[in-house]
């Protein structure tokens, strides 16, 4: 046998051998891709309305923290500016509802729960100990028929903010009673300073002012009675509250009816008005434009209408809820549990400027004015929501503009009260 023939035969055998090896590898690779289980990343879709400023930074902090803790969950944000509510309600009835969305306590939450649109969250509420960790004053407002439907994310509250430098200039002491408030208003007006400003263009700040006033006179029960149709708007006590409310007209900055809530804040900041009844988000606003808390501005509860009346704090809370038809309920519950934890809250509140609903959030997360707010909340005799969050939406939409009308046409307050009685009866059937 020649060397050439040996070499040629060996080459053919070599090629055949490697062809077989390659074929085997191809079969194995094919088998792997066909029969290897495919890992599908879990998904979570959330809706919220925080699209700018500190609010956007706050929600981004939570989103990034959640992604870090649960890297196997693909979190999809849907930030939706106002008008937010109709967008969410439309999504709820679609084939692709959010898995969780930001909402509000009180009647906002109750109306959806009553219609069977929300998932009860009792299992996770007790699993994570939120019955003990969440501030007691908030807990009644996330329930319907004894079940939990919302996980609180924020705790805001309403206060009478005042320009401290204006008060100091005229030697004024923050009022504790209605009579003292009127004395302060008269003194300010004598010195050419408008005592009070509000954001009438947005309407809801006017309702907030009335909510603060009536609760300071009679406590929270009267507002619940109005919401349930058990107390009439023409009730003697409510009429008394309307009479005091329209008396404030004489002390309102004349631009109050054309200002947004933020523009009214600027009026307070410039010292053109001395007081402004607003949520504690005003603190974040004033701080961001360069004012120093407790030095340039401070706050007090709305002065009591009667010295013997209970002290009432009006709360506002953003919550996350989970639709009944959500496609990723377990992932949504992970999100809800995460955002309410003290760990997540500690960083969130620094961006959002609110207080945490979780009692385990360290007080070091707050500045001195926020610590003062927290003390006022926990020491108040009663906690309630504003009328906006207690009333049926249709009733509120009729009340709010009428409150503005009362300030502009005070002689019509009894007529407007009678209209509210009729509207409430038609809507509630009482």
- 327-336 residue pLDDT tens: 999 999 999 9
| Structure tokens, 82 | 């106002």
- As a whole number of angstroms, the distance between CA 156 and CA 209 comes to 15
- As a whole number of angstroms, the distance between CA 354 and CA 287 comes to 13
Domain 42-155+317-360 falls in which CATH fold? Answer: D-Maltodextrin-Binding Protein; domain 2 (3.40.190)
Residues 6+ apart with CB under 8 A from 260: 199, 201, 202
Domain 157-315+387-428 falls in which CATH fold? Answer: D-Maltodextrin-Binding Protein; domain 2 (3.40.190)
* This prediction's pTM: 0.88
- 192-227 residue pLDDT tens: 999 999 999 999 999 999 999 999 999 999 999 999
Q: What is the block-wise mean pLDDT of the chain (430 residues), using blocks of 10 residues?
A: 46 52 51 49 95 91 98 97 94 95 97 97 96 95 97 97 98 97 98 98 97 97 97 98 98 97 97 98 92 98 92 97 97 97 95 94 96 96 97 97 97 98 93
Q: What pLDDT, on the 0 to 100 scale, is given for residue 5?
A: 47
DSSP 74-141: EEEEEE--SS-HHHHHHHHTSSS--SEEEEESTHHHHHHHHTT-B---HHHHHHTTHHHHB-TTTGGG
Residue ranges of the chain assigned to CATH 3.40.190.10:
42-155+317-360, 157-315+387-428
Q: What pLDDT, on the 0 to 100 scale, is given for residue 2?
A: 45
DSSP 350-362: HHH-SB-SBTTS-
Q: What pLDDT, on the 0 to 100 scale, is given for residue 189?
A: 98
């Amino acid at each position: 046998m020649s060397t050439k023939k040996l070499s040629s035969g060996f080459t053919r055998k070599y090629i055949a051998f490697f062809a077989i090896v390659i074929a085997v590898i191809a079969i194995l690779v094919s088998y792997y891709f066909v029969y290897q289980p495919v890992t599908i990343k879990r998904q979570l879709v959330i809706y919220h309305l925080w699209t700018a400023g500190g609010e956007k930074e706050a929600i981004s902090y939570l989103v990034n923290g959640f992604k870090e803790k649960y890297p196997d969950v693909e979190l999809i944000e849907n930030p939706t500016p106002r008008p937010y509510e109709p967008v969410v309600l439309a999504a709820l009835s679609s084939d692709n509802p959010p898995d969780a969305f930001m909402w509000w306590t009180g009647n906002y939450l109750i109306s959806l729960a009553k219609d069977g649109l929300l998932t009860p969250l009792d299992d996770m509420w007790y699993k994570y100990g939120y019955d003990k960790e969440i501030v007691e004053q908030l807990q009644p407002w996330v329930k319907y028929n004894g079940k939990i439907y919302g996980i609180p994310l924020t705790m805001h509250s309403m206060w009478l903010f005042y320009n401290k430098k204006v008060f100091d200039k005229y030697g004024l002491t923050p009022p504790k009673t209605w009579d003292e408030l009127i004395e302060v208003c008269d003194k300010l007006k004598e010195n050419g300073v408008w005592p009070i400003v509000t954001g009438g263009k947005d309407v809801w700040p006017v309702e907030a002012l009335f909510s603060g006033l009536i609760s300071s006179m009679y406590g929270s029960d009267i507002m619940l009675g109005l919401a349930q149709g058990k107390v009439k708007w023409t009730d003697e006590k409510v009429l008394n509250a309307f009479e005091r409310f329209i008396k404030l007209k004489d002390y309102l900055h004349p631009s109050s009816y054309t200002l947004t809530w933020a523009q009214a804040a600027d009026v307070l900041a410039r010292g053109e008005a001395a007081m402004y009844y607003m949520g504690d988000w005003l603190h974040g606003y004033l701080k961001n434009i360069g004012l120093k808390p407790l030095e340039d501005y401070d706050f007090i509860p709305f002065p009591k209408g009667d010295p013997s009346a209970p002290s009432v704090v009006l709360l506002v809370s953003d919550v996350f809820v989970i639709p009944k038809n959500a496609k990723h309920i377990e992932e949504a519950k992970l999100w809800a549990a995460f955002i309410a934890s003290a760990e997540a809250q500690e960083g969130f509140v620094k961006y959002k400027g609110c207080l945490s609903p979780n009692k385990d959030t360290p007080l070091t997360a707050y500045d001195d004015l926020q610590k003062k707010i927290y003390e006022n909340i926990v020491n108040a005799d009663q906690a309630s929501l504003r009328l906006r969050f207690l009333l049926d939406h249709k009733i509120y939409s009729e009340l709010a503009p009428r409150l503005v009308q009362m300030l502009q046409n005070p002689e019509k307050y009894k007529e407007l009260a009678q209209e509210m009685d009729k509207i409430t009866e038609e809507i509630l059937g009482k």
